[in-house]
Amino acid sequence: MNKNTVIYPGSFDPFTNGHLNIINRSSKVFEKVIVSVAHNVSKKTVFTIDERVEIIKEIFKDRPNIEVDSFQGLLVEYAKKVKTNTILRGMRSVSDFEYEFQMALANKSIDDSVETIFMVTDSEFTYISSSLIKEIVTLGGSPKHLVPDIVEKKLIEKLQRKQEEN
């Protein structure tokens, strides 16, 4: 197992400045951060898995210690595949903790070698959520201060096209 590598999994639909904050900070703690886009069948997404991977790769194209990947199935199995046992989860608020704590315990019950580390986002990002961003854009607002530039551009294109089709 590579103890200098951490997996930061998520749906990242869309990728936010809060995600960016966690990745930037964790890259100072770990030699390698694997940002892994999860196939989450329970969420209705704006972007496909491939689009999300492409967008995140573009954001980190000049950061060799940040790898972008995707996975489906159990996170603990994916961790074995990429030869690490450390999972990073970002938290914005106390309400995130309950869900993340439950997931960490579930992962630990499947594979007790897997460790989950929680990182609290900087306070300026605590209110940002993917669903909030999608709602702002759908209602004609700008997500400029909530997401990286490439995400803003792709999100507006995608959601405006969807609205024109309806």
- Which listed residue (43, 63, 153, 162) is catalytic? 43
| Within-domain flag for 140 | no
* 43 part of the active site: yes
Instruction: Say what percent of the chain tops pLDDT 90.
Output: 73
Q: What is the pLDDT of residues 81-95, one digit of tens each?
A: 999 999 999 998 888
Q: Which structural domain, as residue segments, surrounds residue 63?
A: 5-125
CB 8, CB 23: distance < 8 Å: yes
- Which listed residue (19, 89, 134, 154) is catalytic? 19
pLDDT higher than threshold 90 for residue 110: yes
Q: What's the pLDDT score for residue 164?
A: 63
Partners of 67 in beta bridges = 34
| CATH code where residue 89 lies | 3.40.50.620
| Within-domain flag for 149 | no
Strand ranges in the chain using DSSP code E only, listed in sequence order: 5-10, 32-38, 66-71, 86-91, 115-120
Give the number of domains in the chain. 1
* 130 part of the active site: yes
| Within-domain flag for 84 | yes
How far are the Cα atoms of 62, 94, 100, 164 from residue 37, in angstroms, in the given order?
A: 19, 24, 17, 28
